[in-house]
Amino acid sequence: MPGTTTSVLRTVDHVVRPVTAWSVLDHEPLDPLPVEAVDPAVLVERLRVDPAAVEVLHGGAAGAAEALRGRPELLDEVRRVHAAALLPGETPLVITDVTTEPVLSWTPATLVVHYRNPHEEPVVLASVTVTWAGEPFVVEQEVRADAREGTLELRLDEEHTLPVGPAGLDVTLWRADGARAAVRHTVLVLPSNPLAMALGPAGARVTGSWSLRGDHRPESDTFVTECEITITNGDPRPVAMGRSMSWEFWDGPVGGGTRVEAGTLTWSAPITVPALGAWRGSVHFSSPRGSGVFGRYDRKEDLALAVSATAVDGRVLRAEITARTLLAYGVNIIKVGTFGAQEHADLYAAVDRMREVFEARDITLRGVDRRLITAAQAGGYTTVGSEDEYRDMLEAWSCANDYVDVFVVQDFAWAGYNGYAGDIPGPATKGGRKDGVAVEKTGYTDGSGTARLDVETLALLVGHEVGHYLGLAHQETTDNLMRSSSGVRGAAVDYEQYRLMFPHGYVVHL
Ligand SMILES: [Zn+2]
């Protein structure tokens, strides 16, 4: 039916990993054996290496070094064998595995660290760095483990509990002689209440704001919104869910704005959330021109999606998430005067870095046009000495497209400035004395005598001036891109600033 958002459903039918080993990137359990105790043919077969790479290690560290001088091409393969087998006489500390019971939200947990320590010095310290949706934290624990192999318990106590969602656990053991071993382990923290639903972005264009993306498909003139639904169960019994879920798109926050569209999802098969586990499905909402959702996206407005589901026993789950298009603007990078090859490379590295700064706020670059005004053509404009001279340059040149003109000059000889924007916001048309920004190239000579540009400073400087062009005034909060002084400027762009930039005529949705 035209003019109405419809939904297409897909359950995740590949094997969902265990909640206590959630990421495919986790270390596999590892237990290297002494090389002389392993059948060389097994290593050759398993690691797909030249038999000589295994043979080399039988000579111990000194023998291997000697043999590699004769056959340096074997180095990579020898390294792979060494990761799986110990040299004669080696006594490394090894974490062979990290195991845990399913971790429940806001509940202490115990990590069991399995190790092997074929050395007389004891293991003295265990630590875990926990990465999750908030600030990472570290828990350290003194231990005294003289045993050559065994297990250690590392406790996440009441002060170190976690909310529902994935959490990375980087576990490290230290031995008294300074040797250490580290592995990464990931868990999915389950709800202790004990059933919860979460919505997340799926597919491409997932950014730091963890919002859903409205993606325009020109061939059907439709916005597609893909959303992943995860139901987690912290109970030791499976939970049966009803096959229907209801969805609502809201203009602004759920309950605080206008309900734009609503409907029902009906899954093709009954949903069972496994005991101490998770169920995942994804849904594509397809919104043709004329639908309420299409109109909001087309006007670059934020939406909120709310989904609710009911368990067969009557419990109701509800979750919501922001949905927005990925916005984009283009830049014409106009080199004014002479740039060396390394300076050219540094300039475009800075533009890439600037793209990342804006993408953290769901605004990307739709294009980068590369332009050059030679030193001969530029005359005095290679150095900008005053506001008048800067505006004369804007008047003398512009690129006839709907990208922001960014002039990168050799130097600003204009007290107190290293960049300048024509207006806040700059015009969405070309011509006149306001239609661009200018920055100095921030050049320096590196230790080997090569002329370079300071990529990070330049990225934030161009981003700052473009920020002015798109409507941002100075803002002196910590790490903000719009701090007036480039010495203290950071890469942060906040939500209010996003809201100020999106109406600019040069900012379009992808
Ligand atoms: Zn400024």
- Tokens, residue 165: 């969602």
Of 471, 497, 473, 504, nearest in space to 402 by CA: 504
Ligand 1 center from residue 484 Cα (angstroms): 5
CB 12 within 8 A of CB 280: yes
Distance 474 CA to ligand 1 centre (A): 6
3-class state of residue 210 by DSSP: coil
Distance 469 CA to ligand 1 centre (A): 10
Q: What's the gap in Å between 391 CA and the centre of ligand 1?
A: 16
Ligand 1 centre and the CA of 104: distance in Å? Answer: 47
CA of 466 to the centre of ligand 1 (A): 9
C-alpha 418 to ligand 1 mean position (Å): 9
CB 43 within 8 A of CB 81: yes
**387 C-alpha to ligand 1 centroid (Å):** 14
* Rounded distance between C-alpha atoms, residue 67 and residue 492, angstroms: 53
CA of 412 to the centre of ligand 1 (A): 14
For ligand 1, the distance from its centroid to the CA atom of residue 501, given in whole angstroms, is 15
| 181 strand-pairing partners | 173
Cα distances from 112 to residues 140, 156, 164, 175, 209, in angstroms, run 14, 11, 21, 17, 34
- Locate 250 and state its tokens: 């809201």
Pick from 311, 237, 273: which is nearest to 12 by CA? 273
**CA 472–ligand 1 middle distance (angstroms):** 9
Along the 510 residues of the chain, how does pLDDT read in single tens digits?
558 988 888 776 444 567 777 776 666 666 777 888 888 888 888 888 888 888 888 877 788 888 888 888 888 888 888 878 888 778 889 998 999 999 999 999 999 999 999 889 999 999 999 998 888 899 999 998 888 889 999 999 999 999 988 899 999 999 999 999 999 888 989 888 889 998 988 765 666 677 899 999 999 999 999 998 989 999 999 999 999 999 999 998 788 889 999 999 999 888 999 998 889 889 999 999 999 999 999 988 889 999 999 999 999 999 999 999 888 999 999 999 999 999 999 999 999 999 999 988 889 999 999 999 999 999 999 999 999 999 999 999 999 999 999 999 999 998 889 999 999 999 999 999 999 999 999 988 888 889 999 999 999 999 999 999 999 999 999 999 999 998 899 999 998 999 899 899 999 987
Task: Give residue 481 CA to ligand 1 midpoint distance, Å.
Answer: 9
Distance 378 CA to ligand 1 centre (A): 25
Cα 372 to ligand 1 centre (Å):
25
Q: Ligand 1 center to residue 346 CA distance, Å?
A: 22
Residues 6+ apart with CB under 8 A from 114: 29, 95, 96, 97, 98, 99, 150, 151
Distance from the alpha carbon of residue 206 to the mean position of ligand 1, in angstroms: 29
**Residue 131, number of CB atoms within 10 A of its CB:** 15
User: CB within 8 A of 274, min separation 6: which ones?
Assistant: 233, 238
Which domains does the chain show, CATH number per domain? 6-13+193-325 (2.60.40.10), 33-86 (no CATH), 94-189 (2.60.40.10), 327-509 (3.40.390.10)
> Model pTM greater than 0.75?
no
474-491 burial string, b = 16+ CB within 10 Å, else e?
Answer: ebeeeebbbbeebeebeb
